[in-house]
Amino acid sequence: MRWDPVAMDGVIHSMTWTRHPFSTSMVSITPFVSVLVALPQAGGARLLGTLAGAADDSAIGAQVEGVIASTDEGLPALRWKLTT
């Protein structure tokens, strides 16, 4: 049992527009796209995240690449961008 690094290239397994700010950290960014991203190179394992950047072309099946961002509290967080 070990951890192997994999590329952060994924496919949107599901996505939805979050339009209501459920927490104070969402107020300034709603609406935004929440995604569940599958990583084919990791056996299809799925990760939750938020789509950053242009989101109008987001759809189930779209290709994305991930970046490690930081929350206001300094915690690592997953943000995904559409790749063309």
Q: Give the residues lining the site for another protein (CB under 8 A).
A: 13-20, 22-23, 25-26, 29, 32, 34-36, 45-46, 48-50, 60, 71, 73, 75-78
For residue 62, the one-letter residue type is: A
Q: Are 47 and 63 in contact (CB under 8 A)?
A: no
What is the token pair recorded at 15?
């996505």
Rounded least distance, CB 18 to another protein, Å: 5
CB of 84 to another protein, least distance (A): 22
Q: Which two tokens stand for residue 13?
A: 């397994």
Pick 18 or 63: Cβ nearer another protein: 18
* CA pair distance 21, 65, nearest whole angstrom: 25
Give the residue carrying structure tokens 């056996």: 43
What minimum distance in Å lies between the beta carbon of 68 and another protein? Answer: 11
